[in-house]
Structure 1
Amino acid sequence: MNQIKPIVGITMGDGAGVGPEIILKSLGDPEIYDLCRPVVIGDSKILNRAKAFVHSDLKVETIQEEQIADLPYSFGTVYCLDLNLLSEDLPIGQVSAEAGHAAFEYLAKAIDLANKKAIDAICTAPLNKEALHKGGHKYPGHTEILADLTGTDEFSMMLSAPKLKVIHVTTHVGIIDAVKMINPERVYRVIRLAHDTLVKSGIENPKIAVCGINPHAGENGLFGYGEEEEKVVPAVNKAQGEGINVVGPLPADTLFFRTVRGDFDIVVAMYHDQGHGPVKVLGLDAGVNITVGLPIIRTSVDHGTAFDIAGKGIVEEKSMTEAIRQAVELAPKRK
């Protein structure tokens, strides 16, 4: 039975930033329409304004929510669910409460659509945290909005580059604090999140590899103070006991090479630089940030609003294009 192409809702992000430009540039690639049915959740007038910046010939067509499932989705037309929240003369490259509030509303609408199964995945263009706060929404960013509006307590960051996916046990903390925070239950939860996310994406029995904390994964106590045996091994054993295809702890210095080679589907990294470094080397301009643990699929570009170059048409769209591709890969499969 043939699979139906997923519907990907692309939120416009902060309309004063580069979001409209990277969306138009990405949807200027016919291959995107071979993969999915993209619909932009934003403001048509701002997309039309951005066409001049990026010299786009695409037609922007305003649609209603009830039309989403029945549109032809052919290359050349960008469908926009127009929330009509921004003024036509919104200043480009400036922080504004108007754009911050609109960015929140685009995401809230996308979450609502995903919850109702009207779309299969969300792909977000960048928002600006200062503008978001000025607009009356006191969240650190996209992830916290998504967690709040979906009632999610357990979630994690997954980074994806071509041939490599990495999920983190800890992220934005110092290395000493990271080691303190790592414990068997935390490692187990991240292994489970990795497994469940990839199974939902269509990988029946994902191969998961877990990094050690110390060089050479401790090498039987030669390095460190037994952190692997204390903090990682019990989590791996628990997951294996539940039938999860996971191994570790393994030395990080060879594990990422092995994963890129195809030995594993995803790596569980213990701390920020252990996981971020390899992803950035492999895909600095094509990296994608994926929030896992949510009841819906959400991917995002791995950069900000870039106010300094907004409106100039020079922003690279590779991260947005890859984020759309990852949304398609992770989206529940319809038949």
Structure 2
Amino acid sequence: MPSLPLALTMGEPAGIGGEIAAKAWAATRAGAVPFFFLGDPALIRGVPHAVIAAPEDAAAAFPRALPVLPLRLAAPALPGRPDAANAPAVIASIEQAVGFAKSGRAGAVVTNPIQKSVLAAAGFPHPGHTEFLGELAGTGQTPVMMLACPGLRVVPVTVHLSLRDAIARLTTAMIVEHGMLVAAALREDFGLPRPRLVLAGLNPHAGEDGTMGREDIEVVAPAVARLRAAGIDARGPLPADTLFTPRARAGYDCALGMYHDQALIPIKTIDMDGGVNVTLGLSIVRTSPDHGTALDIAGQDRADPGSLVAALRMAAEIAASRAKGTTG
């Protein structure tokens, strides 16, 4: 059975979404799972595009042109200058893509970066993509953000919080919930029958036996024990400063960081251009590039499509893994 096309959302029209969509099509049109761009056709420049009426038309058009399912903007898209008037179209692109995936008309959703401040100014109530997707395609679990590249997978347990708030809100139950969901995703989406997890210590040297804070003893270590009791190969808390060396990375399949930068700095250092954001805990497959809207270089033909290409490929691989698990 042919693979379903992937739905690529528009993202911020004033950013690099249209540019990297065009470049990704040029880089993948031979032998790739087809994808279609859900947005304004005027954003696609430099490559041929074909306006389609439905996702089912994408496969036939893909070898010769980037399929575009049109979604018109309310205001002209000026590179580097976001306009809140276009926020409804940005939101509609996400909603429609999710709808296609939920109804079985698209194999996965790949989201181009959004400008959160612009959406917030237009009344968008969610902190970002992940929370909105949880509302549209949730499973009853809190969605979890995983960042992945060929050499590393990481998950931040707390995400868009100040460091002070992240420490205050971190709980054993939260860590366990993340660990259980990550282990399930590694089995079902990445084909790893016995996933290995490591948990970074919150404090320097994982607290140094409590001399640098007791959170690792009282919060993180009990989470490791509960995960192990559930049959998951989990280790920690381990000092974060030695957790991401090449030798250390060979010993696990995913690292859980206790706060945003602890998880994201390593992966962006290792593979800034090829990292992929994967949302776990949804009823659909969703990936995205691991970068922002890049307003500073929008319209200059300087954007690197590498992360989007990786996101498209990973979305196709996860969708195929889930399909195999359903039919196998």
| TM superposition score category, shorter chain reference | 0.7 to 0.9
Distance 1:208 1:89, change over 3 A: same
Distance 1:15 1:208, change over 3 A: same
Deviates more, 1:188-197 or 1:166-175: 166-175
- Between the aligned partners of 2:173 and 2:18, the Cα distance in structure 1 is 41
1:94 paired residue among 81, 88, 94: 81
TM-score by length of 2: 0.86
1:212 corresponds to 2:209: no
Deviations 1:4-60 (A, max 9, x none): 545321111122321100111111113x6534222221222332xxx2xxxx3x331
| Aligned residue in 1 for 2:102 | 115
Equivalent runs, 1:105-254 vs 2, <5 Å: 105-133=92-120, 135-151=122-138, 154-201=142-189, 202-219=191-208, 221=209, 223-254=211-242
Equivalent runs, 1:68-87 vs 2, <5 Å: 68=57, 71-72=59-60, 74-83=62-71, 85-86=72-73
Residue 298 (structure 1) shift: 1.7
Residue 199 (structure 1) shift: 2.0
| Aligned residue in 2 for 1:309 | 297
Q: Please give the secondary structure, in 2, of the residue aligned with 1:256.
A: coil
Deviations 1:313-334 (A, max 9, x none): 1222222222223323433523
Residue 88 (structure 1) shift: 8.8
TM-score by length of 1: 0.84
Q: Which structure 2 segments of 5+ residues have no match?
A: none
Residue identity (%): 34
Contact in 2 for aligned 1:200/1:331 (Cα 8 Å): no
Distance 1:173 1:144, change over 3 A: closer
Contact in 2 for aligned 1:198/1:330 (Cα 8 Å): no
Number of residues of Structure 1 aligned to a counterpart in Structure 2: 321
Calculate the aligned-residue CA RMSD, in Å: 2.7
Distance 1:190 1:298, change over 3 A: same
1:284 corresponds to 2:272: yes
Residue 101 (structure 1) shift: 1.3
Residue 64 (structure 1) shift: 2.6
Distance 1:135 1:232, change over 3 A: closer
Q: Which structure 1 segments of 5+ residues have no match?
A: none
| Aligned residue in 1 for 2:90 | 103
Residue 165 (structure 1) shift: 1.0
| Aligned residue in 1 for 2:39 | 42
Distance 1:15 1:226, change over 3 A: closer
Q: Please give the secondary structure, in 2, of the residue aligned with 1:81.
A: strand
- Between the aligned partners of 1:314 and 1:225, the Cα distance in structure 2 is 45
| Aligned residue in 2 for 1:19 | 17
Contact in 2 for aligned 1:101/1:131 (Cα 8 Å): no
Q: Please give the secondary structure, in 2, of the residue aligned with 1:263.
A: coil
Contact in 1 for aligned 2:242/2:248 (Cα 8 Å): no
1:295 paired residue among 267, 278, 283: 283
- Between the aligned partners of 1:97 and 1:225, the Cα distance in structure 2 is 44
